[in-house]
Homo-oligomer: A and B are copies of this chain.
Amino acid sequence: MAIIPSAPASADEPLAIMGAGLVGSLLALYLARRGHPVQVFERLPDPRQQGLLGGRSINLALSDRGWRALAGVGVADDIRQVGIPMYRRVMHDGQGQLTFQPYGQENQAIYSINRGNLNCTLLDLAEQEPGVQITFGQKLLQLDLPGRRLHLQDVATGHAHDVAYQRLFGADGAFSAVRGALQRTDRTDYSQQYLEYGYKELTIAAGEGGSWQLEKNALHIWPRGNFLMIALPNLDGSFNATLFFPYEGDKSFAALQTPADVTTFFTTVFPDAVPLMPQLTEEFFDHPTGSLVTIRCFPWAYRDSVLLLGDAAHAIVPFYGQGMNAGFEDCTVLNQLLDQLGEDNWPTVMKAFETQRKPNTDAMADLALYNFVEMRDRVADPRFLLQKKIESKIAAQYPGQWVPLYSRVTFSPDTSYAEAWAAGQRQEAIMARVMPLIQNELDFDKPEVQSLVAQALASAY
């Protein structure tokens, strides 16, 4: 008897996605691969025609959770071609002296990826799937939740039209219009919290012949206590630098009003970077100052008809390089739940999704805020770097038992964010007891240190 493969029972059910950014386009791929027709609506114009991607950061750090999600639809290898692995942090001090901190074990790296390229690649791949239709320039004016209708406006013509949906996925980012509608339903918790810091994107120029003027395969950090600059490599030899800086105060955006102010300040605090930034003052005043928001909400689902994913559900600050990775992991988890619970079981799938993801994305939001302090301040502290070296020694001595927090978050996609954060806090408590006994790396071998670590590990797990 021949086995005739049949499409899943709900394959003809129209699914709508609001947002064709990174998460929306990857989600379209996932749902299409499951056999669903998918309609995607995006407010902005097609980035493949416009070359524009709003005011978002240009470079992103793609790591293992992101790779796993891309591999799930078979596109990881394509994208790895256009990524630049970054194996370590390079810290630049006030005199231009460098120190180094590997991100993980040898060969473990996070990847600098251009947001625009990645988005365009995912859009191309999604559109190649049968059943996927992407319409750009569609602004969500109103969402009729009980009636399951999108009220959209074509931005180019001004024409408004309605689209019915059975399920809607809100992947429309930190300022999600879909979430805006959910927020006005009763008993929806919501918060948006801004840092008193903004960011400014600047350029470190390529060298001659497209060479890199700083170490290519690294993420560069200029930690300065209450502010910092970072830089990620581009394929063309340049680096995208980002200054994270207070809005107000002594050293702040408010205090830098003229090109001379900017030049003086940068020359003083980033002396090794300034010669590599020929467009510094122009860019400083031409580029917008971005704000840094953490968004939390719950529930993410409206009955069995709407589900938020990505930044729409859990926008975070960028200091752990996990915003996109967390959004991509949403796609992995949703796909797993559809495998486990069945294609037709949307009420259960949506409920399970928000229940499983919410504690993890909350933990990730906390981790991202925590890492802000680490990046701008602690990585400049010799005691902190010594602690990281001691932790590496513990990790080598107790393989599997001691995994650095950064590795759990970045390189351990089978560990949830919440588990990673809890384990990181346990390890931090152990180090708070160990470090008072340590003056230098060799002290790790002292019997009292060895015994304390052994004891602490035995009782912590």
Contact = CB atoms under 8 A, between A and B. Distances in A.
A192 B189 contact: yes
A192 B190 contact: yes
Interface string A183-226: 10011111111100000000000000000000000000000000
A183 B188 CA distance: 16
A338 B99 CA distance: 56
Given A186-B291, A291-B186, A193 B191 contact: yes
Contacts of A190: 190-192
Contacts of A188: 192, 194
A449 to B, nearest CB: 37
Contact of A194 (B189, B247, B291): B189
A451 B54 CA distance: 67
Contact of A291 (B187, B192, B193): B187
Contacts of A247: 187
In the complex, the count of this chain's copies comes to 2
Contacts of A193: 189, 191
A95 to B, nearest CB: 34
A104 to B, nearest CB: 35
A343 B291 CA distance: 34
Contacts of A189: 191-194
A247 B247 CA distance: 43
Contacts of A192: 183, 188-191
A240 to B, nearest CB: 22
A123 to B, nearest CB: 28
Nearest to A196: B187
A188 B195 CA distance: 10
A181 to B, nearest CB: 13
Contacts of A191: 189-193
A296 to B, nearest CB: 8
Interface centre among A186, A187, A188 (most CB of B within 10 A): A187
A10 B439 CA distance: 67
Nearest to A186: B291
A244 to B, nearest CB: 15
A194 B190 CA distance: 9
A41 to B, nearest CB: 21
Interface string A172-185: 00000000000100
A188 B191 CA distance: 10
Contacts of A183: 192
A12 B443 CA distance: 76
A198 B190 CA distance: 18
Nearest to A194: B187
A17 B424 CA distance: 51
Nearest to A198: B187
A160 to B, nearest CB: 16
Contacts of A187: 194, 247, 291
Contacts of A291: 186-187
A153 to B, nearest CB: 15
A189 B194 CA distance: 6
Given A187-B194, A191-B193, 16 more contacts: A183-B192, A186-B194, A186-B291, A187-B247, A187-B291, A188-B192, A188-B194, A189-B191, A189-B192, A189-B193, A189-B194, A190-B190, A190-B191, A190-B192, A191-B191, A191-B192
18 contacts: A183-B192, A186-B194, A186-B291, A187-B194, A187-B247, A187-B291, A188-B192, A188-B194, A189-B191, A189-B192, A189-B193, A189-B194, A190-B190, A190-B191, A190-B192, A191-B191, A191-B192, A191-B193
8 A-B pairs with least C-beta separation: A191-B191, A187-B194, A190-B192, A189-B193, A187-B291, A186-B291, A189-B194, A189-B192
